[in-house]
A and B are shown apart, each in its own frame.
Chain A
Amino acid sequence: MLMIAFLCGFIWDSQNSLGSHGGDPSVYESPVEHIRFGYSIILYGMMGVIMQGVQPLFRKGVWQLSAALTGVAILFYLLSEYLLINVIRGEFYFPSRVFYQMLWSSLLTMLCSPVIFFVLFKLAKWCQFTIRFDGLKRPGFRLNSMQDH
């Protein structure tokens, strides 16, 4: 999970990080600050921790909760990213359309996630992979493999 979080954050920052403003500093006295390269890795790591929490249920084939949590995690990511921008650049500004934009992105992700999960299940079956997780040793979890579903 941490490896995937690192990879996703690294790719995201590689794609989106902007350079310094440049120009004559006596004219452009207050250039806008940018978030440091690498911040997305931390945010993706936090999202991964959230998703990891429901891994036992995911293994049992309860993908619905994971799908809902995907939306929550994306909402958390976007909110954190936007708040970071506000903190770094100052002038707190949070119009309602920004919230709706986040909500819309999260809902779309949530709706698309079952397709990804389906592909993951198929891949796991093809590779004969089984999720290993210490939480599964706790009483109360039925150790059905996800291939059963």
Chain B
Amino acid sequence: MKPVSLITLLLFLGGVAWALTRSEPSVRIIQSGYYSVMRPFLSGGSAMETKIRSFDDELEHSRVLKAELDIAEAELVRMRMEIAQLKDLEQENVQMRAALNFQKRTSFSVTAAKIIRRKPSNWWETAHIDRGKDHGIRAQLPVIAAEGLVGKVDRPNSDSSTVILLTDEACQVSAKVLGNGVAQEVGILSGQRAQNGENPMLRLKYLSRETNVKPGQLVVSTGRGKLFPKDVALGTVISIERGSINAEALVKPAVDFATVHTVFVLTNPSESDSTK
């Protein structure tokens, strides 16, 4: 082997050893630097992807828009009636709280964000949102949509963040199954390895073997574990698999991850949780 080749090989192996021995904070600094450099390219790519997706969505939905409009109008009438009822309830609630001298309920503090890039790799279920450290986003903050939990912030950059989705195997949520309004079973909910397609499923693990969980029951977060607020919708039980030690439930996510475009980052999850 030529001396130059040997030196190159040694440099390569040295570089590999250096990279493999980086601690997590060092990796975060490297990633932050990478995203700072790549920001113009990624933003351009994301903008193009968003435009193409919007155009595709418009084509796909134009046929059903009329039917949806009719349904929406009927829904609007119903909602208006519900709002009127809810206003009465709210008034009653305010009066009761005042009477019982409850603490003033703190509202959720959320930051709205748009998904600008989806699933950039094969195995990791992640998405990029257009809000970052500049907007008060931090790592580990929960991300929700109108339907339920989307995931949590994994890596905030200055003006964008990477969100690890609930459908990823690495995103674990302490969850409980609701039945007739009473918490029945508690377990850990997570995605499944290497899922693709439009209907990803979740697994609720560590249920007791004799669980009486049934298909159709709702799964919500427990609020334990200091990551996610409690009672956020996660999904619906589809089936139960009983093992020799414990049982697992297959859960359909509450959020349609293929169509969700706008999400909300809870910037004070502990505060909102404590008020529940």
Chain A interfacial positions (CB closer than 8 Å to B): 2-3, 5-6, 9-11, 13-24, 27-28, 30-32, 34, 36-39, 41-42, 45, 78, 81-82, 85-86, 89, 91, 93, 95, 97-98, 101-102, 105
A13: chain B residues within 8 A (beta carbon):
19
A37 and B22 contact, CB distance less than 8 A: yes
23 pairs, CB–CB < 8 Å, chain A vs chain B: A2-B8, A3-B12, A6-B16, A13-B19, A15-B38, A16-B121, A19-B139, A23-B140, A23-B172, A23-B225, A27-B174, A27-B224, A31-B172, A34-B170, A37-B19, A37-B22, A38-B16, A38-B18, A38-B22, A81-B123, A82-B123, A85-B123, A93-B193
User: Does B226 touch A at the CB level, under 8 Å?
Assistant: yes
- Known interface pairs A22-B139, A34-B170, A45-B12; A78-B19 also in contact (CB < 8 Å): no
B9: chain A residues within 8 A (beta carbon):
2
User: Does B178 touch A at the CB level, under 8 Å?
Assistant: no
CB distance from A35 to the nearest CB of B (A): 10
User: Does B30 touch A at the CB level, under 8 Å?
Assistant: yes
A19 and B174 contact, CB distance less than 8 A: no
A41 and B193 contact, CB distance less than 8 A: no
CA distance A2 to B12 in the complex (A): 6
B169: chain A residues within 8 A (beta carbon):
32, 89
CB distance from B67 to the nearest CB of A (A): 33
**0/1 per residue, B182-225, Cβ < 8 Å to A?**
00000010100110110000000000000000000000000011
| Cβ-defined partner of A95 (8 Å) among B124, B174, B194 | B194
A20: chain B residues within 8 A (beta carbon):
24
**0/1 per residue, B9-50, Cβ < 8 Å to A?**
101100110111010100110110011001000000000000
B251: chain A residues within 8 A (beta carbon):
none
- Known interface pairs A23-B227, A93-B193; A28-B174 also in contact (CB < 8 Å): yes
B226: chain A residues within 8 A (beta carbon):
23-24, 27
Closest B residue to A39 using CB positions: B20
CB distance from A138 to the nearest CB of B (A): 16
Closest B residue to A14 using CB positions: B34
B170: chain A residues within 8 A (beta carbon):
18, 21, 31-32, 34
CA distance A82 to B44 in the complex (A): 30
- 5 new A-B pairs (CB below 8 Å) besides A14-B35, A38-B18? A6-B15, A15-B121, A23-B172, A24-B227, A91-B193
| Cβ-defined partner of B34 (8 Å) among A2, A11, A30 | A11
A14 and B225 contact, CB distance less than 8 A: no
Closest B residue to A86 using CB positions: B193
| Cβ-defined partner of B24 (8 Å) among A10, A19, A24, A81 | A19
User: Does B101 touch A at the CB level, under 8 Å?
Assistant: no
Per CB-CB distance, the 10 closest pairs between chain A and chain B, nearest first, are: A38-B19, A27-B225, A14-B34, A38-B20, A2-B12, A23-B227, A32-B170, A23-B225, A24-B225, A37-B27
Closest B residue to A41 using CB positions: B16
A32 and B190 contact, CB distance less than 8 A: yes
CA distance A97 to B154 in the complex (A): 27
User: Does B85 touch A at the CB level, under 8 Å?
Assistant: no
CB distance from B142 to the nearest CB of A (A): 11
CB distance from A117 to the nearest CB of B (A): 23
CA distance A91 to B120 in the complex (A): 25
B35: chain A residues within 8 A (beta carbon):
14
A19 and B155 contact, CB distance less than 8 A: yes
User: Does B164 touch A at the CB level, under 8 Å?
Assistant: yes
